[in-house]
Amino acid sequence: MGKEQTIQTTCPYCGVGCGVLATPQADGTVSIEGDSNHPANLGRLCSKGSALGETVDHGNRLLHPKIDGKRVPWDEALNTVSRKFNDIIAKHGPNAIGFYVSGQILTEDYYTANKLMKGFIGSANIDTNSRLCMSSAVAGYKRAFGSDSVPCSYEDLEQADLLVITGSNLAWCHPVIFQRIRQAKEDRPEMKVVVIDPRTTATCDLADLHLPLRPGSDASLFNGLLNYLKKEDYLDLDFLEQHTEGFSAALKAAKTSAGNIPQVSAVTELPEQDIIKFYQLFASTEKVITLYSQGVNQSTSGTDKSNSIINCHLATGRLGKPAMGPFSMTGQPNAMGGREVGGLSNQLAAHMEITNPEHHDRVSRFWETDRLATENGAKAVDLFNDVGEGKIKAVWIMATNPVVSLPDADKVKAALEQCELVVVSECESNTDTTELADILLPAAAWGEKDGTVTNSERRISHQRQFLIAPGEARPDWWIITQVARKMGFEKAFPFEKPVDVFREHARLSAFENNGSRDFDLSGLAEISDEAYEKLAPIQWPVSDNAPAGTARLFTDYQFFTPNGKARMVPIEPKLPENKTSDDYPLVLNTGRIRDQWHTMTRTGRAVRLNAHIPEPMVQIHPVDAQNWGLVDGALAQVSSKLGKMIVRVVITDEQRPGSVFVPIHWSNQSASLARVDALVAAVVDPISGQPESKHTPVKIRPYQPV
Ligand code: SF4
């Protein structure tokens, strides 16, 4: 941590998980470079990553614990949290407590929070903001493969002859992967890229074919593809026979909903010749990757959409081999790490299930607890509904800002306003969520703490400390450990440093495993303090069989289902639950912009990042702008049944007629009436619980201040 000593660490923003070289300077600044030895980025950084050095100042930091707005010593804050939790549990039971955590926290933080909540408080009411970005992909993998396992690596993307990018503005949301693909396409011009997205985004710059489909119609497009592959004789019959089950039912469903090209065209609103072109490309190319992200996941049928994609790869045997497979990108830097430790309310650590008696018994014995939760907990939206209805009486929010980022955000705000106890662990002193906290716990930020994260290709990387945390800020794992001890669970929380947690996490994955589960860190279960400090980026599983990690899964075509076969799932496509109407005739799509991250608490500090798009805006097609009397650069009011916001109008034919796009980043701290999620309905996928953040009916009109 000395001045001008370069530290290898990992970017805290997106799920690409780029390696960063951080060098603290004598003047207190930090210089940042891409780490050319990190396999995720090979030295590249995007605009956000390269501006990290401009975001490490301590302005607006939460420096001390506070109760009811007054500074208190750590001991008093921790005693109060633990006493109040114990009182509420004694009076109302463990399900009266809820934790809402984040894909921003490190695996060691995540593991400790889950162990406390599920293992010792005895409730599974712990969910994560990663529910909003990738839970449909998780559910899709589990249905198909019997496990939450991303089959491919980034290098597969570069080696593919056809890359289908669907529901992802990769160029802005995962920019370094976009850079790698652009380079690969320059090196091999024969590589083809198909982009499936209602909007014409920066990602379309790489597209040989862009399919601006009707929002929400993805499953019909892929069902049509499955049907085409059968009709035109492109199936891998041996693979289907030996390694899959459910093909007939999946095909029958595909035939019913998308039996011919005109039928697919009618639903997707794509020209027939473009659909045929896509299907022919997929059918005739061996090395195909289908990459997908929030555009597929954030839907009331997101799980079905992901399985409609996986079905096409299974039908052609296109996975388990180089440059083939379905590949979901995670949004956050440690969404994948959260999945490893049971970060979702329907999981146990090490990819085990709460409701599986064998898994329950195994984890109970490993943690030496008789209090392990026996049923799944509330998913993110339901968790805050339970807060609002008074079923959850105390909620602990860690490293996230749900008053801005959850759908129906005003309802979330109202729920927290009347909640008996709101504890918030945060780096920032002033967010829309910290405003509602009874107890504030100052958390160490990126660069001030040590631990691991896992990126979209299952690669575990170290985030290392190179700065002293300001004031009394502490790492999240430490805060949780102290609360656990004060609640009476000293023996189960002996952790003194992050490696203690990591070793236990790796040992649990190996405990009575015998290679029978996908998530296996047995090769790191006895890692020394020194080896942990030096840990180079490595992809799980890491075992005796794969001591250097595993680049590609299912190379032996053995899946983690009871009979070892992958499952094809019959998909009946459903259009979005929220339909437009005469009152709300436009579809609101939400997403990220290139230079901001989440609710801007970090990226908002960098002047050059703010310069890209400096204020809340709405993108709208010229025809719609004319219909609604909007002028480019003027202000408009966008309203749904739930709320309204004021935004700057950007008229562009990159937007599909009938729909508008508004970024997710702004909060009421940064501008008034700026939270787009106050407009978004909290309807969710019934399997994954992921909200439909891409399809809210709205109306728009010029804004006239009164
Ligand atoms: Fe960071 Fe993602 Fe940019 Fe890489 S691509 S530098 S991980 S924000």
CATH number for the domain harbouring residue 168? 3.40.228.10
The string of pLDDT tens digits covering residues 210-233 is 999 999 999 999 999 999 999 999
User: Is 171 touching ligand 1 by the criterion CB < 6 Å?
Assistant: no
Query: Would you tell me how many other CB atoms lie within 10 Å of the CB of residue 280?
Result: 13
Residues 311 and 420 in one domain: no
CATH number for the domain harbouring residue 396? 3.40.50.740
User: Is 51 touching ligand 1 by the criterion CB < 6 Å?
Assistant: no
User: Is 15 touching ligand 1 by the criterion CB < 6 Å?
Assistant: no
What is the DSSP pairing of strand 244-245 with strand 566-567? parallel
Residues 388 and 487 in one domain: yes
Containing H/E element for 621?
Answer: none
CA of 666 to the centre of ligand 1 (A): 20
Lowest mean pLDDT among 160-174, 247-261, 647-661, 668-682: 668-682
Residues 185 and 93 in one domain: no
Nearest to 128, CA basis, from 336, 387, 375, 355: 336
CA of 680 to the centre of ligand 1 (A): 27
- Is position 2 within any domain? no
Residue 493's identity, in one-letter code, is F
What is the pLDDT confidence band of residue 602, given thresholds at 50, 70 and 90? confident
What is the pLDDT confidence band of residue 264, given thresholds at 50, 70 and 90? very high
CA-closest residue to ligand 1 atom 4? 18
- Is position 553 within any domain? no
User: Is 330 touching ligand 1 by the criterion CB < 6 Å?
Assistant: no
The string of pLDDT tens digits covering residues 496-539 is 999 999 999 999 999 988 667 789 999 999 999 999 999 999 99
CA-closest residue to ligand 1 atom 2? 14
The string of pLDDT tens digits covering residues 550-576 is 999 999 999 999 999 999 999 999 999
Residues 534 and 440 in one domain: yes
CA of 471 to the centre of ligand 1 (A): 28
- Is position 573 within any domain? no
The string of pLDDT tens digits covering residues 92-121 is 999 999 999 999 999 999 999 999 999 999
CA of 49 to the centre of ligand 1 (A): 5
Domain count, the chain: 4
Q: Where are the beta strands (DSSP E) in 109-266?
A: 126-128, 162-166, 192-196, 209-211, 244-245
Give me the pLDDT at residue 313, please. Answer: 98
Q: In this model, does residue 128 exceed pLDDT 90?
A: yes
Q: In this model, does residue 448 exceed pLDDT 70?
A: yes
Average pLDDT over every residue of 315-336: 94
CATH number for the domain harbouring residue 618? 2.40.40.20
Give me the pLDDT at residue 673, please. Answer: 86
Domain residues for 303?
135-329+563-567
- Is position 83 within any domain? yes
CA of 452 to the centre of ligand 1 (A): 16
Please report the atom of ligand 1 found closest to the CA of residue 13: 8
Q: What is the mean pLDDT of the chain?
A: 95
The string of pLDDT tens digits covering residues 381-413 is 999 999 999 999 999 999 999 999 999 999 999
Give me the pLDDT at residue 2, please. Answer: 47
- Is position 574 within any domain? no
Q: How far is CA 221 from the centre of its chain?
A: 24
Q: In this model, does residue 3 exceed pLDDT 60?
A: no
Residues 438 and 503 in one domain: yes
- Is position 580 within any domain? no
CA of 12 to the centre of ligand 1 (A): 8
Residue 484 to residue 493: CA distance in whole angstroms:
7
Q: How far is the first Cα of the chain from the last one, in angstroms, to the nearest whole number? A: 54
Average pLDDT over every residue of 423-433: 95
What is the pTM (predicted TM-score) of this model?
Answer: 0.96
CATH number for the domain harbouring residue 25? 2.20.25.90
Q: In this model, does residue 276 exceed pLDDT 60?
A: yes
Q: What letter would DSSP give residue 54?
A: G
Token pair recorded at residue 87: 């009182």
- Is position 483 within any domain? yes
Nearest to 239, CA basis, from 319, 329, 131, 354: 319
CA of 447 to the centre of ligand 1 (A): 15
User: Is 13 touching ligand 1 by the criterion CB < 6 Å?
Assistant: yes
Residues 623 and 644 in one domain: yes
Q: In this model, does residue 632 exceed pLDDT 70?
A: yes
What is the pLDDT confidence band of residue 468, given thresholds at 50, 70 and 90? very high
Give me the pLDDT at residue 514, please. Answer: 67
Q: In this model, does residue 1 exceed pLDDT 60?
A: no
Residues 368 and 354 in one domain: yes
The string of pLDDT tens digits covering residues 130-159 is 999 999 999 999 999 999 999 999 999 999
Residues 44 and 72 in one domain: no
CA-closest residue to ligand 1 atom 3? 46
User: Is 175 touching ligand 1 by the criterion CB < 6 Å?
Assistant: yes
Average pLDDT over every residue of 14-22: 97
Residues 191 and 270 in one domain: yes
Q: What number is the ipTM of this complex?
A: 1.00
What is the pLDDT confidence band of residue 605, given thresholds at 50, 70 and 90? confident
Residues 468 and 401 in one domain: yes
- Is position 544 within any domain? no
Residues 263 and 353 in one domain: no
Give me the pLDDT at residue 74, please. Answer: 98
- CB hemisphere CA count around 364 (13 angstroms): 15
Give me the pLDDT at residue 423, please. Answer: 98
Residues 195 and 308 in one domain: yes
DSSP reduced 3-state for 374 = coil
